Protein backbone atom coordinates (compact mmCIF):
# COMPACT_ATOMS: atom_id res chain seq x y z
CA UNK A 1 0.00 0.00 0.00
CA UNK A 2 1.22 3.45 -0.88
CA UNK A 3 2.44 5.81 1.80
CA UNK A 4 1.69 9.51 1.48
CA UNK A 5 4.77 11.61 2.31
CA UNK A 6 3.92 15.24 3.05
CA UNK A 7 6.71 17.54 1.88
CA UNK A 8 7.30 21.11 3.06
CA UNK A 9 8.07 24.24 1.10
CA UNK A 10 8.69 27.82 2.09
CA UNK A 11 8.61 30.65 -0.45
CA UNK A 12 8.25 28.10 -3.25
CA UNK A 13 11.42 26.19 -2.36
CA UNK A 14 11.34 22.62 -1.05
CA UNK A 15 12.61 22.35 2.53
CA UNK A 16 15.37 19.83 3.10
CA UNK A 17 13.46 18.10 5.87
CA UNK A 18 11.21 16.76 3.09
CA UNK A 19 13.96 14.28 2.16
CA UNK A 20 13.74 12.79 5.65
CA UNK A 21 10.00 12.32 5.21
CA UNK A 22 10.41 10.49 1.89
CA UNK A 23 13.26 8.38 3.29
CA UNK A 24 11.13 7.28 6.25
CA UNK A 25 8.07 6.67 4.05
CA UNK A 26 9.91 4.36 1.65
CA UNK A 27 11.07 2.26 4.61
CA UNK A 28 7.49 1.04 4.96
CA UNK A 29 7.62 -0.52 1.49
CA UNK A 30 4.77 -0.46 -1.01
CA UNK A 31 5.51 2.78 -2.80
CA UNK A 32 5.62 6.46 -1.87
CA UNK A 33 3.53 9.30 -3.15
CA UNK A 34 4.97 12.67 -2.16
CA UNK A 35 2.64 15.65 -1.84
CA UNK A 36 3.26 19.34 -1.28
CA UNK A 37 0.89 22.30 -0.93
CA UNK A 38 2.13 25.37 -2.80
CA UNK A 39 0.96 28.40 -4.76
CA UNK A 40 2.74 27.14 -7.87
CA UNK A 41 5.72 25.04 -8.94
CA UNK A 42 8.05 24.14 -6.07
CA UNK A 43 11.74 24.48 -6.71
CA UNK A 44 13.48 21.24 -5.77
CA UNK A 45 10.29 19.16 -5.51
CA UNK A 46 11.70 16.79 -8.15
CA UNK A 47 14.38 15.85 -5.60
CA UNK A 48 11.79 13.71 -3.82
CA UNK A 49 12.21 11.16 -6.62
CA UNK A 50 15.86 10.75 -5.71
CA UNK A 51 14.92 9.70 -2.18
CA UNK A 52 12.24 7.22 -3.17
CA UNK A 53 9.05 8.97 -4.28
CA UNK A 54 7.29 7.16 -7.13
CA UNK A 55 5.09 10.17 -7.70
CA UNK A 56 5.28 13.84 -6.67
CA UNK A 57 2.00 15.69 -6.46
CA UNK A 58 1.87 19.47 -6.10
CA UNK A 59 -1.49 20.66 -4.77
CA UNK A 60 -1.82 24.26 -5.85
CA UNK A 61 -3.99 27.06 -4.54
CA UNK A 62 -3.23 30.79 -4.26
CA UNK A 63 -3.77 30.54 -0.47
CA UNK A 64 -0.71 28.26 -0.21
CA UNK A 65 1.78 31.09 -0.91
CA UNK A 66 2.25 31.25 2.86
CA UNK A 67 1.45 28.41 5.24
CA UNK A 68 -2.36 28.23 5.29
CA UNK A 69 -3.16 25.86 8.15
CA UNK A 70 -6.84 25.23 7.50
CA UNK A 71 -6.70 25.21 3.70
CA UNK A 72 -3.66 22.92 3.60
CA UNK A 73 -5.24 20.55 6.12
CA UNK A 74 -8.42 20.37 4.03
CA UNK A 75 -6.53 19.78 0.77
CA UNK A 76 -4.40 17.04 2.32
CA UNK A 77 -7.33 15.37 4.07
CA UNK A 78 -9.28 15.36 0.76
CA UNK A 79 -6.29 13.84 -1.01
CA UNK A 80 -5.83 11.25 1.75
CA UNK A 81 -9.46 10.21 1.53
CA UNK A 82 -9.30 9.81 -2.26
CA UNK A 83 -6.02 7.91 -2.24
CA UNK A 84 -6.84 5.48 0.54
CA UNK A 85 -3.26 5.57 1.84
CA UNK A 86 -2.35 3.20 4.64
CA UNK A 87 0.10 5.67 6.19
CA UNK A 88 0.66 9.43 6.04
CA UNK A 89 4.03 10.79 7.10
CA UNK A 90 4.78 14.37 8.19
CA UNK A 91 7.89 16.01 9.60
CA UNK A 92 7.51 17.10 13.24
CA UNK A 93 8.79 20.54 12.23
CA UNK A 94 7.10 23.74 13.41
CA UNK A 95 4.70 23.45 10.46
CA UNK A 96 4.28 19.68 10.64
CA UNK A 97 3.43 19.80 14.34
CA UNK A 98 0.68 22.26 13.52
CA UNK A 99 -0.57 20.60 10.35
CA UNK A 100 -0.49 16.87 11.12
CA UNK A 101 -3.10 16.91 13.92
CA UNK A 102 -5.45 19.02 11.78
CA UNK A 103 -5.29 16.48 8.96
CA UNK A 104 -5.50 13.53 11.35
CA UNK A 105 -8.59 14.91 13.07
CA UNK A 106 -10.34 15.36 9.71
CA UNK A 107 -9.62 11.67 9.09
CA UNK A 108 -10.86 10.73 12.57
CA UNK A 109 -7.50 9.56 13.90
CA UNK A 110 -4.60 10.78 16.07
CA UNK A 111 -0.97 11.44 15.17
CA UNK A 112 1.80 9.18 16.40
CA UNK A 113 3.96 12.23 17.01
CA UNK A 114 7.67 12.96 17.01
CA UNK A 115 8.73 9.40 16.24
CA UNK A 116 12.36 8.29 16.05
CA UNK A 117 11.82 4.86 14.45
CA UNK A 118 9.20 3.03 12.44
CA UNK A 119 8.52 -0.37 10.88
CA UNK A 120 5.67 -1.96 8.99
CA UNK A 121 3.95 -4.56 11.14
CA UNK A 122 1.25 -6.69 9.54
CA UNK A 123 -1.58 -4.34 8.72
CA UNK A 124 -0.21 -1.55 10.89
CA UNK A 125 2.88 0.41 11.72
CA UNK A 126 4.97 0.14 14.87
CA UNK A 127 6.70 3.35 15.92
CA UNK A 128 9.07 4.44 18.67
CA UNK A 129 8.69 7.78 20.43
CA UNK A 130 10.79 9.32 23.19
CA UNK A 131 8.67 10.21 26.24
CA UNK A 132 9.27 11.48 29.81
CA UNK A 133 11.96 13.96 28.77
CA UNK A 134 13.72 11.27 26.75
CA UNK A 135 14.11 9.07 29.83
CA UNK A 136 12.02 6.33 28.22
CA UNK A 137 11.05 5.11 24.77
CA UNK A 138 7.46 4.24 24.02
CA UNK A 139 6.83 1.63 21.37
CA UNK A 140 3.35 2.00 19.92
CA UNK A 141 1.37 -0.05 17.42
CA UNK A 142 -0.62 2.31 15.24
CA UNK A 143 -3.73 0.49 14.03
CA UNK A 144 -5.66 3.56 12.90
CA UNK A 145 -6.78 3.81 9.26
CA UNK A 146 -4.77 5.62 8.09
CA UNK A 147 -1.76 5.71 10.41
CA UNK A 148 -0.62 9.34 10.68
CA UNK A 149 2.98 9.82 11.78
CA UNK A 150 5.27 12.79 12.40
CA UNK A 151 9.04 12.38 12.40
CA UNK A 152 11.50 13.96 14.80
CA UNK A 153 13.71 16.14 12.58
CA UNK A 154 17.31 15.06 11.86
CA UNK A 155 16.73 11.44 12.94
CA UNK A 156 15.86 9.82 9.61
CA UNK A 157 19.02 10.53 7.62
CA UNK A 158 18.09 10.94 3.95
CA UNK A 159 19.15 7.97 1.82
CA UNK A 160 19.12 8.15 -1.97
CA UNK A 161 16.92 5.49 -3.56
CA UNK A 162 16.00 6.84 -6.99
CA UNK A 163 12.45 6.22 -8.15
CA UNK A 164 10.42 7.59 -11.04
CA UNK A 165 9.27 10.73 -9.21
CA UNK A 166 6.58 11.36 -11.81
CA UNK A 167 5.33 14.92 -11.39
CA UNK A 168 1.68 15.84 -11.22
CA UNK A 169 0.09 19.21 -10.47
CA UNK A 170 -3.46 19.45 -9.19
CA UNK A 171 -5.19 22.77 -8.63
CA UNK A 172 -7.37 22.35 -5.56
CA UNK A 173 -10.40 24.29 -4.43
CA UNK A 174 -10.54 24.77 -0.70
CA UNK A 175 -11.79 27.60 1.55
CA UNK A 176 -8.93 29.97 2.47
CA UNK A 177 -9.55 29.42 6.17
CA UNK A 178 -10.02 31.60 9.23
CA UNK A 179 -6.46 31.34 10.51
CA UNK A 180 -4.24 33.44 8.25
CA UNK A 181 -0.47 33.84 8.37
CA UNK A 182 -0.09 37.57 7.83
CA UNK A 183 3.70 37.69 7.69
CA UNK A 184 6.86 35.88 8.65
CA UNK A 185 9.35 37.89 10.66
CA UNK A 186 12.59 36.31 9.55
CA UNK A 187 15.53 35.86 11.88
CA UNK A 188 18.56 37.98 10.94
CA UNK A 189 20.17 36.72 7.72
CA UNK A 190 22.98 34.24 8.21
CA UNK A 191 21.65 32.77 11.45
CA UNK A 192 20.82 29.10 11.23
CA UNK A 193 18.00 27.74 13.39
CA UNK A 194 19.11 25.23 16.02
CA UNK A 195 16.32 22.91 14.86
CA UNK A 196 17.94 22.64 11.43
CA UNK A 197 21.67 22.79 12.12
CA UNK A 198 23.99 19.83 11.66
CA UNK A 199 26.30 21.25 14.33
CA UNK A 200 25.09 23.00 17.47
CA UNK A 201 27.26 24.81 19.97
CA UNK A 202 25.22 25.55 23.09
CA UNK A 203 26.17 27.74 26.00
CA UNK A 204 25.01 27.88 29.59
CA UNK A 205 25.69 29.74 32.80
CA UNK A 206 29.38 28.93 32.45
CA UNK A 207 29.63 31.67 29.82
CA UNK A 208 29.29 34.10 32.77
CA UNK A 209 27.74 36.96 30.76
CA UNK A 210 25.76 37.46 27.53
CA UNK A 211 28.58 39.17 25.63
CA UNK A 212 30.74 36.09 26.03
CA UNK A 213 28.51 34.14 23.63
CA UNK A 214 30.64 35.70 20.89
CA UNK A 215 33.20 33.00 21.72
CA UNK A 216 30.61 30.40 20.68
CA UNK A 217 29.50 32.40 17.67
CA UNK A 218 33.07 32.44 16.41
CA UNK A 219 33.29 28.67 16.80
CA UNK A 220 29.98 28.32 14.93
CA UNK A 221 31.30 30.47 12.09
CA UNK A 222 34.39 28.28 11.86
CA UNK A 223 32.07 25.44 10.78
CA UNK A 224 31.28 27.42 7.66
CA UNK A 225 27.56 28.06 7.87
CA UNK A 226 26.39 24.66 9.06
CA UNK A 227 26.49 25.42 12.80
CA UNK A 228 24.04 27.22 15.08
CA UNK A 229 24.44 28.59 18.59
CA UNK A 230 22.04 27.16 21.17
CA UNK A 231 21.38 27.98 24.80
CA UNK A 232 20.35 26.38 28.07
CA UNK A 233 17.15 27.35 29.85
CA UNK A 234 19.09 29.19 32.54
CA UNK A 235 20.58 31.70 30.12
CA UNK A 236 17.31 32.12 28.19
CA UNK A 237 15.40 32.76 31.42
CA UNK A 238 18.10 35.27 32.39
CA UNK A 239 17.42 37.09 29.10
CA UNK A 240 20.89 36.46 27.66
CA UNK A 241 19.62 34.59 24.60
CA UNK A 242 16.32 34.34 22.68
CA UNK A 243 13.87 31.54 23.41
CA UNK A 244 14.21 30.46 19.77
CA UNK A 245 17.75 29.31 20.66
CA UNK A 246 16.76 27.29 23.73
CA UNK A 247 17.48 23.58 23.61
CA UNK A 248 15.59 21.47 26.12
CA UNK A 249 12.20 20.56 27.41
CA UNK A 250 10.67 24.03 27.20
CA UNK A 251 12.71 24.83 24.11
CA UNK A 252 13.63 22.86 21.02
CA UNK A 253 14.39 19.19 20.64
CA UNK A 254 17.41 18.72 18.41
CA UNK A 255 19.33 15.80 16.92
CA UNK A 256 22.37 17.27 15.16
CA UNK A 257 25.40 15.27 14.02
CA UNK A 258 27.53 17.12 16.55
CA UNK A 259 26.36 18.83 19.74
CA UNK A 260 28.93 20.80 21.73
CA UNK A 261 27.73 21.77 25.22
CA UNK A 262 29.82 24.59 26.64
CA UNK A 263 29.49 25.62 30.27
CA UNK A 264 26.26 23.65 30.60
CA UNK A 265 25.90 21.43 33.66
CA UNK A 266 23.39 19.10 32.01
CA UNK A 267 20.08 19.29 33.89
CA UNK A 268 17.45 16.70 32.89
CA UNK A 269 15.45 19.41 31.19
CA UNK A 270 18.41 20.21 28.92
CA UNK A 271 19.22 16.55 28.20
CA UNK A 272 15.57 16.07 27.12
CA UNK A 273 16.25 18.34 24.18
CA UNK A 274 19.59 16.99 22.94
CA UNK A 275 20.20 13.43 24.05
CA UNK A 276 19.39 12.02 20.60
CA UNK A 277 22.28 14.01 19.09
CA UNK A 278 24.66 11.71 17.24
CA UNK A 279 27.88 12.87 18.91
CA UNK A 280 27.99 14.96 22.08
CA UNK A 281 31.00 16.95 23.27
CA UNK A 282 31.02 18.62 26.69
CA UNK A 283 33.33 21.40 27.78
CA UNK A 284 32.97 22.25 31.46
CA UNK A 285 35.19 23.26 34.33
CA UNK A 286 33.40 20.91 36.76
CA UNK A 287 34.54 17.35 36.05
CA UNK A 288 31.51 16.02 37.99
CA UNK A 289 28.93 17.92 35.89
CA UNK A 290 26.11 15.56 34.75
CA UNK A 291 26.68 16.58 31.12
CA UNK A 292 29.81 14.38 31.09
CA UNK A 293 27.58 11.33 31.68
CA UNK A 294 25.90 11.71 28.29
CA UNK A 295 28.87 13.19 26.42
CA UNK A 296 30.90 11.03 24.06
CA UNK A 297 33.91 13.29 24.54
CA UNK A 298 34.61 15.66 27.37
CA UNK A 299 37.22 18.31 28.01
CA UNK A 300 37.54 19.61 31.56
CA UNK A 301 38.74 23.15 32.06
CA UNK A 302 38.26 26.84 31.36
CA UNK A 303 36.01 27.25 28.34
CA UNK A 304 37.54 30.65 27.61
CA UNK A 305 40.84 28.89 26.93
CA UNK A 306 39.45 25.72 25.32
CA UNK A 307 36.83 27.11 22.91
CA UNK A 308 39.14 29.60 21.10
CA UNK A 309 41.68 26.82 20.63
CA UNK A 310 38.94 24.58 19.21
CA UNK A 311 37.83 27.40 16.90
CA UNK A 312 41.40 27.67 15.62
CA UNK A 313 41.58 23.91 14.93
CA UNK A 314 38.20 23.81 13.17
CA UNK A 315 39.19 26.81 11.02
CA UNK A 316 42.26 24.86 9.89
CA UNK A 317 40.04 21.96 8.82
CA UNK A 318 37.56 24.09 6.95
CA UNK A 319 40.40 26.35 5.73
Q: Which 95-154 positions form the footprint of another protein (CB under 8 A)?
A: 95, 97-98, 100-102, 104-106, 108-114, 126, 129-145
Which of 60, 55, 54, 63 is closest to 37 using CA atoms? 60
Among 67, 85, 156, 240, binds another protein (CB under 8 A): 67
Residue from 11, 168, 286, 302 in contact with another protein (CB under 8 A): 302
Closest CB 3 distance from another protein, rounded Å? 17
Q: Rule CB under 8 A: say whether 164 interacts with another protein.
A: no
Of the listed pieces 22-30, 37-45, 202-210, 249-257, which binds another protein according to CB under 8 A?
Answer: 249-257
Q: How far apart are CA 291 and CA 283, in angstroms?
A: 9
Query: What distance in Å separates the CA atoms of residue 121 and residue 143, rounded to the nearest whole number?
Result: 10
Query: Which of 144, 162, 171 has the alpha carbon at shortest distance from 32?
Result: 162
- Rounded distance between C-alpha atoms, residue 16 and residue 155, angstroms: 13
| Identified binder of another protein from the candidate list 11, 160, 168, 313, rule CB under 8 A | 313
Give 204 or 248: the residue with its C-beta nearer to another protein: 248
Q: How far is the CB of 206 from another protein (least distance, A)?
A: 15
- Contacts to another protein from residues 68-97, by CB under 8 A: 69-70, 92-95, 97
According to CB under 8 A, which residues from 18 to 57 bind another protein? Answer: none
Cβ proximity to another protein: between 24 and 57 the closer is 24
Binding to another protein by residue 239, rule CB under 8 A? no
- How many CA within 13 A on the CB side of residue 247? 33
**Structural contact between residues 44 and 19, judged by C-beta atoms closer than 8 angstroms:** no
For helices 214-222 and 303-318, give the axis angle rounded to 10 degrees. 20
CB 57 within 8 A of CB 170: yes
Task: Pick between residue 4 and residue 280 the one whose CB is nearest to another protein.
Answer: 280
CB 173 within 8 A of CB 63: no
Alpha-carbon distance 27 to 50, whole Å?
A: 14
* Near another protein by CB under 8 A: residue from 164, 170, 187, 238: 187
Residues in the chain: 319
| Least distance between another protein and beta carbon 168 (Å) | 28
CA distance 152 to 131: 12
Nearer to another protein, 57 or 260 (CB): 260
Residue placing its CB nearer to another protein in the complex, 116 or 169 = 116
CA distance to 20, 194, 201, 249, 262, per residue, from 257 (Å) = 15, 12, 11, 20, 16
**Residue number, 130 or 204, with CB nearest to another protein:** 130
Name the phi and psi angles at 121, rounded to 5.
-145, 100
Residue 160: CB minimum distance to another protein, A: 19
Count of positions on this chain that bind another protein (CB under 8 A): 94
Nearest to another protein of 203, 266 (CB atom): 266
Q: How do 297-300 and 13-14 pair as beta strands?
A: unpaired
Cis? peptide before 49, omega within 30° of 0: no
CB distance 130 to 254 below 8 Å: no
2: contact with another protein by CB under 8 A: no
Using CB under 8 A, which residues numbered 208 to 227 contact another protein? none
Considering the rule CB under 8 A, would residue 178 count as an interface residue with another protein? yes
Q: Decide whether 160 or 296 has the Cβ nearer to another protein.
A: 296
The one segment of 40-48, 82-90, 209-217, 290-298 that binds another protein by CB under 8 A: 290-298
Amino acid sequence: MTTLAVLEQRDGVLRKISHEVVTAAQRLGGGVEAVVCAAGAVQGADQAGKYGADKIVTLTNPAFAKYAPEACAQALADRAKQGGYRTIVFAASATGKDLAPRVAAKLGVAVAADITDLAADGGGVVVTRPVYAGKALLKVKVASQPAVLSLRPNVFTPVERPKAGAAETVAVTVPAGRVVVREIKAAPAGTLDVAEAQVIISGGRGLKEPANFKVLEELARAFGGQAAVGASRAVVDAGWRAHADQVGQTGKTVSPSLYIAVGISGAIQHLAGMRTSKVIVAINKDKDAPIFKVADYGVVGDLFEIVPKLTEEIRKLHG
